[in-house]
A and B are shown apart, each in its own frame.
Chain A
């Protein structure tokens, strides 16, 4: 059994700003990843749609 901590936090907020910075960076990264993948998927859609013959040619 580990020895008890010297004392509980006193007049301290529960969450650190450093943790917030990490969490917000992580959120921003997954939002951008989702955007990047969504962009790739919408490109797929536009290539398949009948009106995108020009885009098709350009890609080829």
Chain B
């Protein structure tokens, strides 16, 4: 009730009433406990701006009193710490005040050594929350907190130790964010980075390395397990990202000292430590270590203990992800060791499911290394048939309890297809296409007895549609396009069948695949439209699952380019839904810029038939342009969004201008002046990015091109374009070329 009424200022006496329970002489412990719990819930539900500062002060006073050691009831003290956790967001001005902050921190640190484990855990949870919300105020308390966390990690119950480690992981999060935010900037107002991690490094790292030796048996099998060794390794990884090279000499002696010990805990901990520090330090620092230990790592895939093998496969994946770069002067993978690596990976893909899953991940990243160089990816060609066979068989044997192996196997397959040298492998990829289609067909015959069965069917169909999308995209970009043309009917039959399963993930994946198919088949796609249209329309209407909506908008663009004016019979339906989406405040805002771009795609496809939509589309474009004028420029996300919206609006205008050009060009005259004003506003806005600049100058050219002499006076009276186009000559080639083209069009208009 409070969460509804307090924001409307309708229950102002609630807080005072609750606090009365706390200050009442001789209030019974259960009343105090219930009161603190109620205060905690209220703070959890409402936002800081809904409480006055004096109310916040009173809440904090009551909560801190409840935490005091003189309070005899542990239940009351626990309720108080939990209430404090929820009230921390409200305490901004209290944390800004040194005396109040000192007091709150002292009470929390005292509570962190209470004799009740639950209370200690809750106190550490408060410290974690403070690390993220009030990092800037933490400096004076760090020595005390370090001692508290070190004791907790060494000797306290696991629930408390986990929070103590989480405190340091959170400090890493903050410092990584600070480094990323202010990288290369000399902004004097930037938030201070205390480099707590760097300072604590010599004590912190040994403390965490110790935790790695506390593994449980079979811990990698269950997603719900979270224990001290997992948490310690994760924190170590974050520390590596925070401090870079400095962590390496602190960790390597532990790796070297444990990697060959008879106890599997030691071997696993050593491998986990090594794998954890691979992101952060420089390639120069890590590459020699990886090269020296690489053969050892490959051998460890045969370790008798499956947890060691699991961590080894994961570490190999990290090596490939972070350090494998065929173009580098000193590559990790060479023609000399590739065959051995492949043999090991193929063999290990038959290991127990959790290990095989990590091996699939390693194959994924190994393939990804060849992404930017199709010619280099030829080195994978001889291994392709065996890799595909191994991954298909890994996907097949994934039993019902290990869905992730199946997902990893298909995703590795996707990456292999993406990087393959298609001129050498189109035959193999064509066969794979047939096999994946066969598998998708089989999913329709699965016996569905429960919602769990249905979910598994949908998940599998989504994965298979994903593979089909990747294959279609790959083949359609090559001379092997004919394979798609020959199988398009079967593919479309399968996708339409998949739509009948009502799952948003499947819907999205099938949509993506259909977009690729439309591009590959061109105008032939028109024969599928009558049947497909209802699913497309449903996708466009699905504002609740906005990813489906977003992908569907993109597919409309694909279909426009494929069908050109053959899309006309479907445009009334499409435009109706798109216009509705634009007005829908429940639809995620990220979908709206692509909808504008989509207007441009439609107009470009149907030419001056777009005339009938002008009275609806143009006010939307003008409204969005006006909205941009009042956008909050201090919010980075809004600046990004503003740029997306501007690009969408310009792409819409470009498509519409080019589409309408010709006999009906005069229809655009009433909109020209507004468009120029908007373009001028964008020109003056320094937050525009280069893609917006390019779209803006393109639209200037389109306007001149479409309206010709009718735009002469407009360009003469709005001279900002002179300076705008001149500035573009200092930008990259694409913008410069577009600007030159636009200049040519404007010159033609001016002399006409």
B497 to chain A minimum Cβ distance, whole angstroms, is 20
**Cα–Cα distance between A50 and B89 once the two chains are bound (Å):** 70
Check B301 for interface membership: any CB of A closer than 8 A: no
Whether B128 and A41, one on each chain, are in contact in the complex, defined by CB atoms closer than 8 angstroms, is: no
Check B547 for interface membership: any CB of A closer than 8 A: yes
User: Contacting A32 at CB < 8 Å: which of B224, B466, B561?
Assistant: B561
Residue of B nearest to A40 (CB): B658
Contacting residues, chain B, for A11 (C-beta < 8 A): 220, 310-311, 314, 358
Check B125 for interface membership: any CB of A closer than 8 A: yes
Whether A25 and B414, one on each chain, are in contact in the complex, defined by CB atoms closer than 8 angstroms, is: no
Check B519 for interface membership: any CB of A closer than 8 A: yes
**Cα–Cα distance between A6 and B519 once the two chains are bound (Å):** 43
User: Contacting A21 at CB < 8 Å: which of B469, B557, B661, B745?
Assistant: B469
The SS class assigned to the A binding surface is helix
Whether B414 and A4, one on each chain, are in contact in the complex, defined by CB atoms closer than 8 angstroms, is: no
A52 to chain B minimum Cβ distance, whole angstroms, is 14
Interface membership of chain B positions 728-748, coded 1 if the CB is closer than 8 angstroms to chain A and 0 otherwise: 000000000000010011001
Residue of A nearest to B410 (CB): A17
Contacting residues, chain A, for B411 (C-beta < 8 A): 17
Check A28 for interface membership: any CB of B closer than 8 A: yes
Query: How many residues of chain B are within 8 Å of chain A by beta carbon?
Result: 62
Check B211 for interface membership: any CB of A closer than 8 A: no
Contacting residues, chain B, for A7 (C-beta < 8 A): 226, 230-231
Q: A7-B230, A21-B414 are in contact. Are A33 and B89 (CB under 8 A)?
A: no
**Cα–Cα distance between A16 and B347 once the two chains are bound (Å):** 25
Contacting residues, chain B, for A53 (C-beta < 8 A): none
The SS class assigned to the B binding surface is helix
Check A1 for interface membership: any CB of B closer than 8 A: yes
Contacting residues, chain A, for B655 (C-beta < 8 A): 37
Check A58 for interface membership: any CB of B closer than 8 A: no
**Cα–Cα distance between A4 and B166 once the two chains are bound (Å):** 10
Check A57 for interface membership: any CB of B closer than 8 A: no
Interface range on chain A: under 10, 10 to 19, 20 to 34, or 35 or more? 20 to 34
Whether B604 and A37, one on each chain, are in contact in the complex, defined by CB atoms closer than 8 angstroms, is: yes
Check A18 for interface membership: any CB of B closer than 8 A: yes
B522 to chain A minimum Cβ distance, whole angstroms, is 12
Contacting residues, chain A, for B547 (C-beta < 8 A): 22
Near B by CB (< 8 A), chain A positions 4-27 give 4, 6-11, 13, 17-18, 21-22, 24-26
Residue of A nearest to B560 (CB): A36
Whether B515 and A4, one on each chain, are in contact in the complex, defined by CB atoms closer than 8 angstroms, is: no
Whether A41 and B701, one on each chain, are in contact in the complex, defined by CB atoms closer than 8 angstroms, is: yes
Whether B698 and A37, one on each chain, are in contact in the complex, defined by CB atoms closer than 8 angstroms, is: yes
Contacting residues, chain B, for A51 (C-beta < 8 A): none
Q: A10-B234, A21-B414, A32-B558 are in contact. Are A37 and B658 (CB under 8 A)?
A: yes
**Cα–Cα distance between A44 and B314 once the two chains are bound (Å):** 55
Please list 8 pairs of residues, one from A and one from B, whose beta carbons are closer than 8 Å in the complex, sorted by A's number: A1-B89, A9-B234, A10-B226, A21-B414, A21-B466, A21-B470, A21-B509, A37-B698
Residues on A lying within 8 angstroms of B by beta carbon are: 1, 4, 6-11, 13, 17-18, 21-22, 24-26, 28-30, 32-33, 36-37, 40-41, 44-45, 48
Top-4 shortest CB links A-B = A7-B226, A17-B411, A40-B658, A11-B314
